[in-house]
């Protein structure tokens, strides 16, 4: 089970409860789609990356090659700019030798961002994706669709005021070049911790079981029916994709 949520205002918790009641989290999870990753396919590329990064975390530490594979999966712009040391996150930074998440991550889930931000060419979205694949029980990604719908920066897509972090639409010679989450804004990475605690809260309060593809349970990546932070994030990404 994920860590218990911390520091969420009562009003926000009431909003999260209302969201859970108003939306089928199971259907949102099953409607997740990115490239080859669909529920019908069993989310094969997600499964492959989770296995890869968790093996690395337990042996060598997270490698720059792992980061590049995550960037490729996400179709990141300017992937060629990514560079850093061979090992970008030391062994057992996220998972203790007993196999459980490091206790310090309960109160400070944003702590590994301080190390990941040293990777050249890697912004908030992909920093969070690395953590999501390495420790899906405790992390979910935060990307521009999530921020535009649940945070700030896009008045057309905005639906819920859960986050203060802002996405911006870049332009070049008058043409839009895509959305991004500036790492220099004051709400990064503190709002990432808030996002993780939102995912924790929802993981513990969704009454319906999470219908993981059987391959995830066979690979021991998931426990039958239990929602992880990454599972909740996938459902919320599906919701955000309706508007952003």
Dihedral sign for Cα 100, 102, 103, 108, please: negative
- Does residue 150 carry a pLDDT above 90? yes
Q: Give pLDDT, residue 173.
A: 80
Under 8 Å between Cβ of 62 and 56: yes
So where are the chain's domains?
10-240
Instruction: Write the pLDDT tens digit of every residue in 175-231.
Output: 888 999 999 999 999 999 999 999 999 999 999 999 999 999 999 999 999 999 999
In the block, tokens 């929602």 appear at: 227
Q: Of 19-28, 37-46, 166-175, which range is least confident? A: 166-175
- For residues 22-38, give the mean pLDDT: 98
- For residues 4-30, give the mean pLDDT: 98
Q: Give pLDDT, residue 215.
A: 96
Dihedral sign for Cα 241, 234, 46, 216, please: negative
- For residues 44-48, give the mean pLDDT: 98
Q: What is the pTM of this model?
A: 0.97
pLDDT band at residue 1 under the 50/70/90 scheme: low
- Does residue 240 carry a pLDDT above 80? yes
- For residues 38-60, give the mean pLDDT: 97
- Transcribe 69-96 into DSSP letters: HHHHHTT-TTGGG-B--SEEE-TTSSB-
Relative orientation angle of helices 44-58 and 124-134, to the nearest 10 degrees: 80
Return mean pLDDT, the chain: 96
pLDDT band at residue 148 under the 50/70/90 scheme: very high
pLDDT band at residue 174 under the 50/70/90 scheme: confident
End-to-end CA distance of the chain: 30
Q: Closest Cα partner for 69 from 56, 151, 117? A: 56
Strand partners, 32: none
pLDDT band at residue 172 under the 50/70/90 scheme: confident
pLDDT band at residue 152 under the 50/70/90 scheme: very high
Q: Give pLDDT, residue 2.
A: 78
Secondary structure letter of residue 208 according to DSSP:
S
- For residues 128-134, give the mean pLDDT: 98
- Transcribe 181-202 into DSSP letters: --TTSTTTTHHHHHHHHHHHHH
Instruction: Write the pLDDT tens digit of every residue in 73-99.
Output: 999 999 999 999 999 999 999 999 988
Q: Give pLDDT, residue 56.
A: 97
């Amino acid at each position: 089970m994920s860590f218990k949520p911390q520091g969420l205002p009562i009003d926000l918790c009431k909003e999260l409860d209302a969201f859970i009641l108003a939306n089928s989290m199971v259907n949102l999870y099953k409607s997740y789609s990115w490239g080859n990753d669909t529920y019908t396919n069993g989310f094969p590329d997600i499964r492959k990356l989770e296995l890869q990064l968790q093996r690395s975390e337990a042996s060598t530490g997270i490698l720059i090659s792992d980061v590049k594979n995550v960037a490729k999966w996400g179709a990141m712009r300017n992937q060629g700019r990514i560079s850093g040391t061979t090992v970008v996150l030391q062994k057992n930074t996220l998972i203790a030798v007993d196999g459980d998440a490091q206790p310090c991550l309960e109160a400070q889930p944003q702590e590994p961002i301080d190390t990941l931000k040293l990777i050249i060419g890697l912004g908030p979205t992909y920093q969070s994706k690395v953590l999501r694949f390495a420790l899906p029980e405790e992390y979910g990604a935060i990307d521009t669709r999530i921020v535009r719908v649940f945070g700030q920066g896009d008045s057309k897509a905005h639906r819920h005021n859960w986050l203060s972090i802002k996405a911006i639409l870049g332009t070049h010679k008058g043409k839009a070049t895509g959305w991004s989450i500036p790492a220099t804004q004051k709400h990064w990475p503190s709002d990432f911790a808030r996002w993780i605690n939102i995912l924790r809260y929802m993981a513990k309060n969704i009454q319906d079981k999470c219908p993981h593809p059987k391959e995830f349970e066979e690979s021991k990546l998931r426990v039958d029916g239990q929602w992880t932070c990454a599972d909740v994030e996938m459902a919320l990404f599906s919701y955000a994709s309706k508007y952003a």
